[in-house]
Amino acid sequence: MKRTFLVLTAFTLLLISCEVLQQVGQMANIVNCKFRLESVKQLTLAGINVQNIKKVSDLTLVDGAKLAAAVATNQFPLTFTLNTEVNNPNASVAKMTRFDWILLIDDIEMTRGVVNSAYTIPANGTTIVPMQMSIDLKEALSGKSADAIINFGMNLAGAGNEPTRFTMKIQPTITVGSYALTYPGYISVTSKYGS
C-alpha cells in the first residue's frame, strides 16, 4: 500500500513538473511572438460613426448637432475596437493568461488597462485579440480647446492631413504552477492609420 502511494505520488509530481515545464515553454514562446496593431474598427466620436469620414464636409447636420452637444457637455467620448494580431513563429504554442496594456495616440497616453482573458496562439499561427476602447478625449487631452479635440478626433478618422499613430504597450503574463510570471517591461507596437 505504501509503495503504491509513493509510486502514485512520484507519478503525480512528474505530471505536475511536465505541466510546469510546458507552461515555462509557453512563456518563452510568447517572448518570441510578434505583435501588430491589425486594425481599428467601429470608430465613433461623440456618438458619430467617423470610420469612413474623409473630410469635415462629410458630416451631416445631425452629426454637427451631436458635436455641438458634446461641446456643451464638455465630454468627447471616443470608442473603438483595436484589433491586435499576435503571430507565433515558434514550433509550439504560446500562451498569455493576461496582459497589461497602455494605449498612446500620437504619443499621448490615452488610457491603460488589463485583459484578463487567456489567449493561446497556435504554433506557426496567429490570433487576433480584440480590445474595446472607450476614452473621454476631453479628459485625455486636458487643457486643449474644443476645436483641437474635435480636430484630433477627426484626424483619427482620417479626415486630417497627417496619419494618426497608435502605440500599444503590452506586458504579457503567464501562470506557471500557481505563480504569475510577468514579462519584464513592455513590448511596444506602433501603427499609423488615416492619411
pLDDT at position 154 over 90: no
Q: Which pLDDT score, from 0 to 100, does residue 77 have? A: 86
Q: Averaged over 165-176, what is the pLDDT?
A: 85
Binned at pLDDT 50, 70 and 90, residue 193 comes out as: low
Residue 21 contacts residue 92 (beta carbons within 8 Å):
no
* Spatial distance between the Cα atoms of 190 and 186, rounded to a whole number of angstroms: 13
Domains of the chain, CATH where assigned = 2-193 (2.60.40)
Amino acid letter for position 118: A
pLDDT tens, 21-36?
455 555 567 778 888 8
* Spatial distance between the Cα atoms of 17 and 62, rounded to a whole number of angstroms: 62
User: Could you tell me the CA-to-CA distances from 63 to 52, 57, 66 in Å, in that order?
Assistant: 13, 11, 5
Residues 6 or more apart from 115 whose CB is under 8 A from it? 98, 99, 101, 129, 131
pLDDT at position 146 over 80: no
